[in-house]
Amino acid sequence: QVQLVESGGGSVQAGGSLRLSCAASGYTFNSYCMGWFRQAPGKEREGVATIDSAGSTTYADSVKGRFTISQDNAKSTLYLQMNSLKPEDTAMYYCAGEEGSAYCYPVEPFEYWGQGTQVTVSS
């Protein structure tokens, strides 16, 4: 059974940084795609970034140059380093994953989801 557990959210001022983590268990796929999504109040959930089992990454235009997705396979952990944060980055951030990497982009659907971690950026 796949479980994804996010951590690392919090409150920060604009221009600050946060690093989100997603601990994965039961994830035994040789080929996979994992990603970060976010949902702001009153808005639809949107994709932020993805990384596949080969290490290829994709980012939404809104976060390019500011956010970095990475993974530590030894720790079965996914990360999202967020720098130069803006108030519009305020949202609940979700970790997601699926088997296979043929199409790995920050676009739903994804099969597995975490519970989310809140990020709040104040101006």
What does the pLDDT look like over 74-117, one tens digit per residue? 889 999 999 999 999 999 999 999 998 889 999 999 999 999 99
- Distances in Å between the alpha carbon of 49 and those of 10, 34, 36, 81, 122? 19, 9, 5, 11, 22
- What confidence tier does 50 reach under pLDDT thresholds 50, 70, 90? very high
- What confidence tier does 46 reach under pLDDT thresholds 50, 70, 90? very high
**8 Cβ contact partners less than 8 Å away, ≥ 6 residues apart:** 18, 19, 20, 21, 117
Please tell me what DSSP assigns to residue 31: S
Q: How many residues does the chain have?
A: 123
Q: Which residue has the tokens 């993805």?
A: 50
- What confidence tier does 73 reach under pLDDT thresholds 50, 70, 90? confident
